[in-house]
Every structure is written in C-alpha cells, then in structure tokens.
Amino acid sequence: MRLFILTCLTGFLAGNVCSADTVRWHQDRFCISYWVDPPIDGNEDQYYKDLKEAGFTVALGAFGARTPETVKRQLELCEKYDLKALVWSRDAMEGAYPESPACWGYMIVDEPNVTQYPELRSRVDEIRAKRPGKLGFINLFPDYATYEQLGFAKDESGVTNANAYNEYVKRFTEQIDPDLICMDHYPVMRPDNDGRFYYCRNLSVMRKYSLQKGIPFWNFFNTQVHGTHTDPTEAQLRWQVYTSLAYGAKGVLYFCYWTPSGFGKCYSLITPDGRKTRHYYQAQRINAAIGKLGPVLMELTSTSVGHITKKSNPPEDLKGTGIANLQKAEPSDPDLDYLVGAFVHRNGRRAVMVVNYDISFTSLATFTFDIPAEKIMEVRQDTGAIEPVLDDSSGIEGLQLSFDSGEGRLFILSAPKTNE
C-alpha cells in the first residue's frame, strides 16, 4: 500500500482564504450531480421530481436548459425541489448570470486546455464581481487526455508526456484561482482490461491540488456504454463512487443522467424519451446511502489514502489510518483487497473510509483499530446516525466487518489509546 500523507491541514479546514472585500463560493452540501440535464419540454416538473427522488442534490445545466427562458424554468424547479443549480452561461447566455436562491453558480466550460486559462480567469473574475458568492464551474480533462488535448505546445519547456497532466492541473489552480477542482474520468472495467488503477491515479492528482489549494474537488464517473466500456453493474457504479469518497471528493457526478440521443449502444439513467432504466434505480440506492454520509463527509479533510492487497504489510502500511491491523477472517478467504482513506474531522476526531476494491465479490475481514472496539463509531448509511459499529459475524474472534462488492463504509474514531 502506498500512503499519500499530507500534514498541512490548516488551510483546508479553515476554508479558502480570500481578501476581505471578496465573497467567494462556499460548498454547503455534498454534491450529487450529473452530465446532461432533463429537457424543458412541458414534462419537466416530473423530471425534476424524479431527480429529487433519486437523491441528486445539484442540477447541472448544459443541455436541457440553455436559453434564458429554460434556465429560468430550471431554477424554479430547483427551488421547488430543494436542489442547487449550476446553470448554463455560454453561447446565447454569454454574460447573463441569472439569480435565484437555488443558483449555486454558472457552467462555463467543459474540458478546456491550458491556452484557454487566461480567458477563463476573466470569466471567473467577472462572475465574482457580478455575482459574489457564486461558482464559475469549469470541468477539466481526465489524465488520459493527450499532450495536444491539454493544450501544450510541441516540446514545451519542462512539460513532458509524463508530467503534462500534473502541470495542466497545477496551472489551472495557479492561473484560474478556482473555488473548486473537477474532472471526468471513466475507467474501463472489463475482464480483459481493468483500468481502475488509472482512475485512482487521477483522483490522487485532484486530491493533491485540492489539499494544496484548500478547496473541494469533484469528479464525473461512468454510468453507460461508450467506446470500449461495458455497461456498468451496480457494483461498478458503487466502486467508482466510494473510491472517490475515499480520496476525499466532496462531489460525484454521473455520466450521464439523461442519455444523449444517438450516444452509445445502451442507455444511462434515463432514456432519450424519458424512461427510467435500471441505472436510475441503482443510482437511487447509491445516492440514498451517500446522501446520509454527506453531512459528515463535508466535515472531513483527507490525510492519507492507499490500497491494501495480498502484497501489503497491514500493520506497517496502515499506520496513521486508525486501523492497526487487517486480516483475512479465515485462511481460506480471498486475499485482502481494500482501499483505505483516512481523514481528520473538523472537530478533531479521526475518520476512515474503507472500500471493498473487489467489484465481483463481497468481503469479510478482521479489523483491529487502535482504540477499543466499543469506541469505534460508524456513520449509518440508512439514517445518517453515528452509532457504535456492530460485528458482522459470530464465532470468529475479533471485529469482523463485511462489505458488498464495491461498497465503502465510514468509521469515526476518537484519539488513539495510550499506555498511560
């Protein structure tokens, strides 16, 4: 397991530091959103009711609402259903920033390259001047974008294929001075091609600059067939979401919600003609769970994240996470395969998110924390209550914890025990 430790937490816990006369956007709820918003076609009240019932918290405009009239209607519906909105502000909407209690900010651009950063900084500054406290939303490329897509000139000094993505995000944070970092990465999860390592690698870059800047990060993940991707299972959806949470994401966004006409060979959550697919109900279950975790997740700052496998030495590799040891419940059980994200809570307590990395099988393992088992708390995903953790097995010594395939669980820990 490779742990990525960050010791400087003060900036993130205190929030983004701004000049006294600048009101910056502040994220006040966990973001569950999507790409491709429902159309405004006369049936939109039902569409937005469905969004709310599926556990979404933020409506992102760019497709269904992209004129002043449709954006106004979108904001009315978001107010009605207690959703926040990031509304379209390009093309015909250029320079027009509608106001509403539901308006979190404005969608500026998707996947810009570095040559666009000066212009985008002007847009962000314009929004801050005209609509203080609102977000200028920009979504970045994933780390599998090419050198040319990222906008670097051929043989640009100091930029290689190996470090181009890091430089791309670094310049974004330096030149744009954003209130949020967001990207899209769609891991291939085929039996013959498992690209999940690269998803984690991309999240690690988001985490790095989120912590350095003291701002949240979000990411889009895949919900449908495109390119070489298979149609994801519910476990694969869960894995993408909980993995993002383990890295410290404060928002997850589905690609897509409303299926674009003619896109791919299978539908996303909603078909082009408005029917719900199985992915809608899968998302509803996942969102209900992470929605209960959301209030606690918003209070956490990541301190480390790593992957425990059969090659790991858990007592050594888990140092600093709050977990003292992790073992197979029985010798015949599958090898350990867990993602472990450690955090500090705003109130000083510790937290740890454990994710079953396996997307095909459930897992059961013996967990030893650095505090007595009776002092370990868990955030329940059905109620949001923080309650003592329960043993998931009987007849086996120690604390046994069970995970569905791709599932994560969030534990709250007090200070470690001492010898005094």
Please tell me which residue, 93 or 96, carries the higher pLDDT value.
Answer: 96
Least confident segment among 81-90, 91-100, 183-192, 225-234: 91-100
Q: At residue 110, does pLDDT exceed 70? A: yes
Residues 263, 367, single domain; the answer is no
Residues 109, 247, single domain; the answer is yes
pLDDT at residue 11, as a whole number: 40
Upstream peptide bond of 256 is cis (omega within 30 degrees of 0): yes
Residues 393, 281, single domain; the answer is no
Q: At residue 360, does pLDDT exceed 90? A: yes
Question: What is the CB neighbour count within 10 angstroms for residue 8?
Answer: 9
Percent of the chain with pLDDT over 70: 93
pLDDT at residue 21, as a whole number: 64
Residues 172, 195, single domain; the answer is yes
Question: What is the CB neighbour count within 10 angstroms for residue 387?
Answer: 11
pLDDT at residue 94, as a whole number: 66
Please give the single-letter amino acid code of residue 307. H
Q: Is residue 18 part of a domain?
A: yes
Residues 102, 168, single domain; the answer is yes
Q: What CA–CA distances, in Å, run from 290 to 32, 200, 303?
A: 9, 19, 20
Total domain count, the chain: 2
Residues 325, 282, single domain; the answer is no
Residues 200, 308, single domain; the answer is no
CA distance 253 to 86: 13
Report phi then psi at 254, rounded to 5.
-80, 135
Residues 294, 305, single domain; the answer is no
Least confident segment among 5-19, 132-146, 194-208, 224-238: 5-19
Q: Is residue 242 part of a domain?
A: yes
Q: Is residue 66 part of a domain?
A: yes
Which of 282, 298, 314 is the endpoint of a domain? 298
For range 403-417, the mean pLDDT: 91
For range 174-187, the mean pLDDT: 98
pLDDT, the chain, mean: 92
Residues 172, 252, single domain; the answer is yes
Percent of the chain with pLDDT over 90: 85
Sign of the C-alpha dihedral computed for residues 219, 223, 224 and 225 taken in this order: positive
Q: Is residue 1 part of a domain?
A: no
Q: Is residue 3 part of a domain?
A: no
pLDDT at residue 420, as a whole number: 37
Three-state SS string over the chain comes to CCCCCCCCCHHHHHCCCCCCCCCCCCCCCCEEEEECCCCCCCCHHHHHHHHHHCCCCEEECCCCCCCHHHHHHHHHHHHHCCCEEEEECCHHHCCCCCCCCCEEEEEEEECCCHHHHHHHHHHHHHHHHHCCCCEEEEEECCCCCCCCCCCCCCCCCCCCCCCHHHHHHHHHHHHHCCCCEEEECCCCEECCEECHHHHHHHHHHHHHHHHHHCCCEEEEEECCCCCCCCCCCHHHHHHHHHHHHHCCCCEEEEECCECCCCCCCCCCCECCCCCECHHHHHHHHHHHHHHHHHHHHCCEEEEEEEEECCCCCHHHHCCCCCEEEEEECCCCCCCCCEEEEEEEECCCCEEEEEEECCCCCCEEEEEEECCCHHHCEEECCCCCCEEECCCCCCCCCCEEEEECCCCEEEEEECCCCCCC
Q: Is residue 309 part of a domain?
A: yes
Question: What is the CB neighbour count within 10 angstroms for residue 226?
Answer: 16
Question: What is the CB neighbour count within 10 angstroms for residue 418?
Answer: 5
Residues 48, 177, single domain; the answer is yes
**pLDDT band at 14; cut points 50, 70, 90:** very low
Strand partners, 59: 85
pLDDT at residue 1, as a whole number: 41
CA distance 151 to 136: 21
Can you give the CATH number for the domain in which 402 is found? Answer: 2.60.40.1180
Neighbour order of strands in the sheet with 217-222: 31-35, 251-255, 217-222, 181-184
**pLDDT band at 92; cut points 50, 70, 90:** low
Q: Is residue 123 part of a domain?
A: yes
Which of 248, 264, 298 is the endpoint of a domain? 298
Question: What is the CB neighbour count within 10 angstroms for residue 161?
Answer: 10
Can you give the CATH number for the domain in which 163 is found? Answer: 3.20.20.80
Q: Is residue 326 part of a domain?
A: yes
Residue-wise pLDDT tens digits, 204-234: 999 999 999 999 999 999 999 888 889 999 9
Question: What is the CB neighbour count within 10 angstroms for residue 127?
Answer: 21
**pLDDT band at 89; cut points 50, 70, 90:** confident
Residue-wise pLDDT tens digits, 41-63: 999 999 999 999 999 999 999 99
Helix axes 164-176, 117-130, angle to 10 degrees: 30
Please tell me which residue, 321 or 224, carries the higher pLDDT value.
Answer: 321
Please give the single-letter amino acid code of residue 385. A
- Least Cα distance to 297 among 51, 55, 34, 27 occurs for 27
For range 101-118, the mean pLDDT: 97
Domain that holds residue 346: 301-413
Q: Is the distance from CB of 143 to CB of 161 less than 8 angstroms?
A: no
Provide the token pair at 98. 């509608």
Cα 179 to its chain centre, rounded Å, is: 15
Residues 242, 329, single domain; the answer is no
Q: Is the distance from CB of 391 to CB of 271 less than 8 angstroms?
A: no
Residues 140, 205, single domain; the answer is yes
Which of 233, 265, 298 is the endpoint of a domain? 298
